[in-house]
Amino acid sequence: MKAMAPKRDEGLWNKLVYIDPLCGSGRCVAGSDEFDGSPLIALGIHPAFDHLYLSDKSSHNISALKKRIYKPDYPRVSCKVGDCNTVVNEVIRNFPERSLGLAFVDPEGFEVDFAVLKALASRPVDVLYFFPSMIGVKRNLRQSFVQKGGRLDAVLGSDWRNVPAAKLAVGKPLNEKELSNLDTSLIHYLRRQVRELGLIYQDDNPPVFRNEQNAPMYHLLFFSKNVAGLKIWNGIKKIDPGGQRSFSGKGF
- Asked, for residue 199, whether it belongs to a domain, the answer is yes
Successive 10-residue mean pLDDT values, the chain, 252 residues:
91 94 93 92 96 97 96 96 96 93 93 96 97 81 80 85 86 82 84 95 92 86 97 91 57 33
- Asked, for residue 172, whether it belongs to a domain, the answer is no
Residues 6+ apart with CB under 8 A from 79: 54, 55, 62, 65, 66, 69
* Domain range enclosing 232: 5-142+187-236
pLDDT of residue 245: 66
Cα–Cα distance measured from residue 163 to residue 114, given in angstroms and rounded to the nearest whole number = 17
Domain count, the chain: 1
- Asked, for residue 242, whether it belongs to a domain, the answer is no
Domain with residue 205: its CATH number is 3.40.50.150
pTM for the structure as a whole: 0.90
Calculate the CA dihedral of residues 114, 119, 122, 124 and round it to 10 degrees: -100
pLDDT of residue 170: 86
Cα–Cα distance measured from residue 42 to residue 154, given in angstroms and rounded to the nearest whole number = 29
Output the CA–CA distances (angstroms, integers) from residue 17 to 8, 116, 250, in the order listed.
11, 17, 29
- Asked, for residue 212, whether it belongs to a domain, the answer is yes
Taking Cα atoms as reference points, which of 26, 25, 8 lies closest to residue 17? 8
- Asked, for residue 245, whether it belongs to a domain, the answer is no
Cα–Cα distance measured from residue 42 to residue 20, given in angstroms and rounded to the nearest whole number = 9
pLDDT of residue 109: 85
Q: Is the dihedral of CA 191, 197, 200, 203 positive or negative?
A: negative
Strand partners, 13: none
Cis? peptide before 241, omega within 30° of 0: no
Residue 51 and residue 76 in contact, taking contact as beta carbons nearer than 8 Å: yes
Taking Cα atoms as reference points, which of 115, 107, 201, 108 lies closest to residue 158? 115
- Asked, for residue 165, whether it belongs to a domain, the answer is no
- Asked, for residue 228, whether it belongs to a domain, the answer is yes
- Asked, for residue 48, whether it belongs to a domain, the answer is yes
